[in-house]
């Protein structure tokens, strides 16, 4: 899941070198933390959160099929 989020985020931002993704397993869920440069945060979140919601949907489907676990995306 970490690779998927990193790939999508690097394609969206102006500074792909500043993208950092960490993955933490917590109980029944996996938390994926996405950090980008402050100037790129708007590109990752999108207008009215549409890009972030699309990324969350992709993560939910991929993680359920692959691991059978719930995945939560946090954008920092």
pLDDT in tens for each of the 76 residues of the chain?
899 999 999 999 999 999 999 999 988 899 999 999 999 999 999 999 999 999 999 999 999 888 888 999 999 9
pLDDT for 67 equals: 84
Please give the full DSSP string across 45-73, using - where no structure is assigned.
H-GGGHHHHHHHHHHHHHHHHHTS-EEEE
Token pair recorded at residue 47: 């207008």
- Computed over its alpha carbons, how large is the radius of gyration of the chain? 12
Question: For residue 29, what are the β-bridge partners?
Answer: 26, 70
d(CA 38, CA 69): 30
pLDDT for 69 equals: 87
pLDDT for 27 equals: 87
Each domain of the chain, given as residue ranges in start order, spans 2-75
Of 3.30.300.20, 3.40.50.300, 3.30.1490.190, 3.40.50.11540, the CATH number of 2-75 is: 3.30.300.20
């Amino acid at each position: 899941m970490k690779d998927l989020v990193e790939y999508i985020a690097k394609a969206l931002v102006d500074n792909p070198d500043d993208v950092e993704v960490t993955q933490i397993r917590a109980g029944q869920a996996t938390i994926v933390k996405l950090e980008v440069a402050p100037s790129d945060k708007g590109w990752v979140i999108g207008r009215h959160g549409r890009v972030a919601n699309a990324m969350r949907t992709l993560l939910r489907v991929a993680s359920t099929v692959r691991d059978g676990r719930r995945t939560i995306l946090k954008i920092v």
